[in-house]
Amino acid sequence: MYDVLVVGAGPSGSKTAQLCALMGLKVLLIERNKKVGVPVQCTGLFSHRIFELSGVSNKPLLNVVDKARFYSPNSQFLELKSRKPAYVFDRKQFDLELFGFAKKAGAEAKVGTSFLEYREKPGYLEVETSSGTFETKLLIGADGPNSSVAKAANIEVPQDLIVGYQETLHGDFNPDTVELWFGKGTAPEFFGWVVPISRDTARVGIGASKSAQAYFRKFAEKRLGTPLEKGTIEGGIIRRGLIKRSATERVMLVGDAACQVKPYSGGGVVYGLIGAKIVSNACFLSVKSGDFSEAFLTRHYDRQWKSQLSSGIRKGLLIDWLAHKSPDWTLNFGAAVSKKFKFLLESMDMDLI
Ligand SMILES: Cc1cc2nc3c(=O)[nH]c(=O)nc-3n(C[C@H](O)[C@H](O)[C@H](O)COP(=O)(O)OP(=O)(O)OC[C@H]3O[C@@H](n4cnc5c(N)ncnc54)[C@H](O)[C@@H]3O)c2cc1C
């Protein structure tokens, strides 16, 4: 009998498993892929909070950036210099380091093992996976934006989906500057991004609810010129919004599964690691008190993480609405006016918390 069974060895799941194991809980971490960290579905751009929250070393760090250029539809840009730098990581190595921490802390890990369903039994859950059936007191869904655990637990998730399509490309880039390109012709519901790894290599991507690859080609050709040689493809789904509830009896969701994502940028690693800290604490309290009810888990998890992250999510939804519901001419105008408020914008926290 496990105290906690965590589904998904992304950053949120590995961190949850690590922290639960460090608190003395008996943990099983399962991951459907045979290898952790692949396929990469991320740009790997994280705020200054990443080192403290994740505990990772400098090894997976590829670049440090401290400027962002916001391009309006008329290709004018506003450049902001951040007070604190942001970090560009090798996401595969980042995930592998976190997975290593979970195992080192004592969590048992099974890769190539998919969560299938669970059944409620008196005093525990019976979890069926592709590698057999396991018994656990608590089940944590850290299984990403299309969470099977959320479906099995009948937890409703927000339906705003964006497809992120990205390729690692060669060109001429400013190594300390991230670019964000806005406009109906570039990305009607999101933006195009250029995140440099070095002077000649960058992660170039776009978010769109449909035809993401077509928008990407157009954007990359505009930014880098034609003809474009195909780079390494890294893409995935971004789910946005504030989930109504992330806990039910004996089950909690964390990370992308709980929509702990900045809606304006799609960034979810920092929020997911904050979620992992709170959910592992809730697991500890629940196992120690023997209370696995929805009311207890809502009080110790759902309300706790929302008190830290819901205002950031709401602000992110507002920024997203302003940037994408306005016609292009207001964005051009807004970008010109914003130059006067550079000092205010430069003091903003990229995590909105
Ligand atoms: C193109 C793109 C770019 C992005 N760029 C950034 C960025 O720069 N910065 C940032 O902070 N965020 C970024 N994100 C978002 C970021 O990738 C996610 O927020 C982050 O990966 C969430 O971590 P997680 O651990 O919650 O989920 P995931 O990383 O999705 O991990 C979930 C894990 O669960 C496993 N799994 C799924 N189903 C099952 C199952 N049934 N059984 C067992 N295992 C299962 C999966 O294989 C996966 O390993 C980006 C997303 C996209 C799509």
Mean predicted lDDT score pLDDT of the chain:
95
The residues with which 7 forms a beta bridge, in sequence order, are: 30, 141
CA of 78 from ligand 1 middle (Å) equals 30
Residues with Cβ within 8 Å of residue 217, at least 6 apart in sequence = 228
pLDDT of 216 above 70: yes
pLDDT of 228 above 80: no
Give the pLDDT band (50/70/90) at residue 227. low
Query: Is residue 176 within 8 Å of residue 248, measured between CB atoms?
Result: no
CA of 77 from ligand 1 middle (Å) equals 30
Query: How large is the average pLDDT for residues 12-33?
Result: 98
Residues with Cβ within 8 Å of residue 100, at least 6 apart in sequence = none
For the chain, what is the radius of gyration of the CA atoms? 21
Q: Which atom of ligand 1 is nearest to the CA of 130?
A: 42
User: What is the pTM assigned to this prediction?
Assistant: 0.97
Going from N- to C-terminal start, the domains of the chain cover 2-346
CA atoms of 36 and 57, how far apart (whole Å)? 18
pLDDT of 333 above 90: no
Query: What CATH class has 2-346?
Result: alpha beta
The residues with which 179 forms a beta bridge, in sequence order, are: 69, 194
**Amino acid in position 343:** F
Give the pLDDT band (50/70/90) at residue 334. confident
Give the pLDDT band (50/70/90) at residue 33. very high
Give the pLDDT band (50/70/90) at residue 347. confident
| Pocket lined around ligand 1, Cβ cut-off 6 Å | 7-13, 30-33, 41-46, 114-115, 142-144, 148, 164, 166, 205, 235-236, 238, 255-256, 261, 266-270, 272
pLDDT digits (tens, 9 = 90+) for 266-323: 999 999 999 999 999 999 999 999 999 999 999 999 999 999 999 999 999 999 999 8
Lowest mean pLDDT, pick from 28-32, 103-107, 169-173, 266-270: 169-173
The residues with which 203 forms a beta bridge, in sequence order, are: 168, 195
Residue 97 tokens, joined? 């380091």
- Ligand 1 site-directed mutation target among 16, 28, 41, 48, most atoms within 8 Å of CB: 41
pLDDT computed for residue 229 by the predictor: 76
pLDDT computed for residue 95 by the predictor: 98
pLDDT digits (tens, 9 = 90+) for 43-85: 999 999 999 999 999 999 999 999 999 999 998 999 999 999 9
Q: Please provide residue 283's backbone torsions phi and psi, each rounded to the nearest 5 degrees.
A: -60, -45
Percent of the chain with pLDDT over 70: 99
Q: Whose CA is nearest to atom 4 of ligand 1?
A: 42
Report the run of H or E that residue 98 belongs to, with start and end. helix 91-104
Q: Kindly report the CA angle at 168 between 167 and 174, in degrees rounded to 5?
A: 120
Q: Kindly report the CA angle at 206 between 53 and 313, in degrees rounded to 5?
A: 45
- SS3 (DSSP) at 353: coil
- Ligand 1 site-directed mutation target among 14, 43, 113, 209, most atoms within 8 Å of CB: 43
Q: Whose CA is nearest to atom 3 of ligand 1?
A: 42
Percent of the chain with pLDDT over 90: 88
pLDDT digits (tens, 9 = 90+) for 109-148: 999 999 999 999 999 999 999 999 999 999 999 999 999 9
